[in-house]
């Protein structure tokens, strides 16, 4: 929050096909253009769902 030069974006997609469609959108083309123009950098972290579900010992900490 103290870094006025940083923006945090969190996106969520159902599957890889959805991510690919997002990357092929006109909006992403514009974002890429702006990143090049202004020398912007990004960091990507990818999280995936646990296919086995949430362990029982963790469920007490989650409110759905």
The per-residue pLDDT for range 4-52, each reduced to its tens digit, is: 888 888 888 888 999 999 999 999 999 999 999 999 888 888 888 887 8
Residue 1: pLDDT over 70: no
Helix residue ranges per DSSP H, the chain: 16-23, 26-38, 56-59
- Token output for 3: 């870094």
């Amino acid at each position: 929050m103290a870094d006025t030069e940083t923006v945090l974006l969190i996106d969520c997609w159902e599957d890889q096909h959805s991510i690919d469609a997002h990357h092929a959108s006109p909006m992403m083309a514009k974002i890429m253009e702006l990143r090049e123009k202004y020398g912007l950098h990004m960091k990507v972290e990818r999280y995936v769902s646990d296919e086995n579900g949430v362990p029982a010992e963790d469920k007490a900490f989650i409110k759905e």
